[in-house]
Structure 1
Amino acid sequence: MAAPIIELRDVSKKYDAGRPALDHLDLEVEQGEALAVLGPSGSGKSTLLNLVAGLDRPSDGSVTVAGLRLDGMSEAASARYRRDRIGMVFQFFNLLDDLTVDDNVLLPARLAGMPRDEARDRAARLLERLGLQPHHARAYPGQLSGGQRQRVAVARALVNRPALLLADEPTGALDTASAAEVIALLAELNGDGQTLVLVTHDVALANACATRTIELVDGGIHRDVRGAAVVR
């Protein structure tokens, strides 16, 4: 059996003398899963995402993603890991407003040293696959709808062919129609084999996209559901 793509063992994260953000948490995520992480504010969702992204380190325990131990990595190694192994999608898109759509998508590929022609071909194919037209590639983010900007953000996250796509409240800043577009897109990506971790308050997103849902409460897993979410 293949090793899990994400493996957290006895992970705790403490920021001060109060209750830990994560409390002796164990979690495995298999290749090809779409995991939705739900829970109230302060439950540990963002901390979990930051640990998997290599943006933070546990106080105790181990974090392994795509065969790499993250908890002992240097800052430089963590940056290479984020560049080469994962893609990230954020609630407020985090696009660079003074770059065109095409240049926003190309930026991670350029940083990774992908040959220019290969990067341009990859970006064009991704934008087309995600429903954006050639004229959108020449536009600036401020000229696009929220749903279109989130599609650009997904294309940017996928351009380096990451093993894992992390999404932090990907529908949180969108209207209902745009959110439905992004939900359908994420479900399609997972259907094509992309491993997803979605941190969200949106039960509709979990129900539509997730093959598994966990609910965090006080830094631990309160519920672990395979299939559509039943959290209400």
Structure 2
Amino acid sequence: MTTPVIELCEVSRRHDDGPPAVDDVSLTVRPGEAVAILGPSGSGKSTLLNLIAGLDRPDSGTVTVDGVRVDRLGEAASALYRRSKIGMVFQFFNLLDDLTVADNVVLPARLAGTARAEADRRAAELLEDLGIDRHAGAYPGRLSGGERQRVAVARALMNRPPLLLADEPTGALDTAAGQDVSRLLRDLHAEGQTIVLVTHDLALARSCTRRTVRIGDGRITEDVDSRAAAEAAR
């Protein structure tokens, strides 16, 4: 059986004295899967994503990503883990406005110690694949929202991570740009990229993934693989 890319076992996380943001969650994601985590604001989906990314640490349970026990990592090791194991795409892009598009994309590789020439080749390849190579020398502020999100995806893929995490990637985009990013995520999944998408948008989830995990009050309430369900119904 294929080793999971993500394996959460009985994970809980409580903030301050309130109820758990994540409450005894177990979740497995296998290589090549595209999974949407759905839920309203305050349901725990962003906390769950932060636990997978090593940006937060559980109070109990274990978080394993691509063979790494993320819940055991210190600050420096967590930063190294994020550079090598995951790519992250955010709602508001998080690009550096004083760097060109190409330099934004190259940055993760340079932080990882990749030689400049090799990093430049990889960045040029990604920008061409994503259809934004003509903007390599431009600054992010001159690009449309959809183009900036493509730059963010290129940056996230720079170090060839086994896992791509997308947190409301179309939330700041108009309808046309959102559909553009949705197609991009579908294409990446078709190429074998493992993706976890956090969203409240059911249409985006259905467009980009075949498996949806619903979370409410910190607990998984539903986990449905549409392809498996369709095959079972035959």
1:30-69 maps to which residues of 2 (within 5 A)? Answer: 30-69=30-69
Contact 2:124 2:133 in 1 (8 A): no
Higher helix share: 2
- Aligned partner of 1:109 in structure 2 is 109
Q: TM-score, normalised by structure 2?
A: 0.95
1:81-160 maps to which residues of 2 (within 5 A)? Answer: 81-134=81-134, 136-160=135-159
Amino acid at match of 1:66: D
How many Å separate the matches in 2 of 1:2 and 1:133? Answer: 36
Amino acid at match of 1:211: R
Unmatched 5+ residue regions in structure 2?
A: 228-234
How many Å separate the matches in 2 of 1:209 and 1:200? Answer: 11
Residue 195 of structure 1 pairs with residue 194 of structure 2: yes
DSSP 3-state at the match of 1:152: helix
How many Å separate the matches in 2 of 1:132 and 1:51? Answer: 32
Q: How far did 1:227 drift?
A: 2.4
Q: How far did 1:59 drift?
A: 0.5
Post-superposition CA distance 1:115-172 (Å, at most 9, x none): 11111111001001001133x0010001000000000000000010001000000000
| Identical-pair percentage | 67
DSSP 3-state at the match of 1:48: helix
Amino acid at match of 1:42: G
How many Å separate the matches in 2 of 1:3 and 1:44? Answer: 26
Pairwise CA RMSD of aligned residues? 1.1
Residue 77 of structure 1 pairs with residue 77 of structure 2: yes
Q: How far did 1:98 drift?
A: 0.5
| Structure 1 outlier segments of 4+, above 4 Å | none
How many Å separate the matches in 1 of 2:154 and 2:226? Answer: 26
Q: How far did 1:207 drift?
A: 0.7
Q: TM-score, normalised by structure 1?
A: 0.96
Q: How far did 1:17 drift?
A: 2.1
How many Å separate the matches in 1 of 2:208 and 2:15? Answer: 32
Post-superposition CA distance 1:41-79 (Å, at most 9, x none): 111101000000000000010000000001111111000
How many Å separate the matches in 2 of 1:2 and 1:12? Answer: 26
Unmatched 5+ residue regions in structure 1?
A: none
DSSP 3-state at the match of 2:200: coil
> How many correspondences in the alignment?
228
- Aligned partner of 1:213 in structure 2 is 212
- Aligned partner of 2:230 in structure 1 is none
Post-superposition CA distance 1:157-209 (Å, at most 9, x none): 00100010000000000000000000000000010000000001111210111
